[in-house]
């Protein structure tokens, strides 16, 4: 976000309907893995050491689960419902490992809209390049709240 620039908010709960879908594909690149590992100081050899990983049932380094979670939560924040939304609950299964350089297609689908609670439920699936389900999740999300019109009021932190 650029300071001093207002961002457009995501969609209101009234604008969201059951059955809406979003698809995006992410390739697991070295630069992204290195950024994650540097940010978290996570030196798990399963994520970065080929010699170690080759001796495990995975056979090669895998992508950290929390990095995959970050891709999902980022998509919710950016696209569905979008900026201003907040994840209230997440249930994620990592069904198969995701390896370095794999591409994962994430499919998001609105499966419930609870207008009285101001909540939408989004199902997420991740498929690898050979069409295997690698991720399955359910997210309870609060779409952005609309703020009252300020009519000239000034807020110090905006």
How far apart CA 92 and CA 124 sit, in angstroms, is 9
pLDDT (tens digit per residue) in 79-108:
999 999 999 999 999 999 999 999 999 999
Q: 13-29+62-142 in CATH: which number?
A: 3.10.129.10
Domain ranges of the chain: 13-29+62-142
pLDDT for residue 34: 85
How far apart CA 10 and CA 22 sit, in angstroms, is 14
pLDDT tens-digit profile, the chain (158 residues)? 455 566 688 889 999 999 999 999 999 998 888 888 888 888 899 998 899 999 999 999 999 999 999 999 999 999 999 999 999 999 999 999 999 999 999 999 999 999 999 999 999 999 999 999 999 999 999 999 877 655 555 555 54
pLDDT for residue 98: 96
* Distant-in-sequence, close-in-space partners of 54: CB < 8 Å, separation ≥ 6: 60
Q: What is the 3-state secondary structure (H, E, C) of the chain?
A: CCCCCCCCCCCCHHHCCCCCEEEEEEECCHHHHHHHHHHHCCCCHHHHCHHHHCCCCCCCCECCHHHHHHHHHHHHHHCCCCCCCEEEEEEEEECCCCECCCEEEEEEEEEEEEHHHCEEEEEEEEECCCCCEEEEEEEEEECCCCCCCCCCCCCCCC
């Amino acid at each position: 976000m650029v300071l001093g620039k207002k961002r457009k908010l995501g969609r209101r709960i009234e604008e969201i309907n059951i059955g809406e879908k979003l698809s995006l594909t992410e390739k697991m690149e070295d630069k992204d893995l290195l950024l994650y590992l540097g940010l978290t100081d996570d030196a798990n050899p399963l994520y970065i050491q080929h010699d170690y990983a080759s001796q495990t049932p995975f056979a090669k380094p895998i992508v950290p689960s929390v990095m995959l979670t970050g891709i999902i939560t980022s998509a919710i924040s950016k696209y569905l419902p979008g900026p201003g939304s907040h994840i209230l609950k997440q249930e994620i299964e990592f069904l198969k490992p995701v390896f370095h350089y794999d591409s994962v297609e994430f499919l998001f689908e609105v499966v419930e809209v609870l207008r009285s609670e101001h909540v939408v439920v989004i199902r997420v699936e991740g498929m690898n390049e050979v069409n295997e389900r690698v991720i399955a999740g359910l997210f309870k999300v609060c779409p952005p709240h609309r703020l009252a019109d300020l009519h000239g009021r000034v807020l110090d932190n905006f």
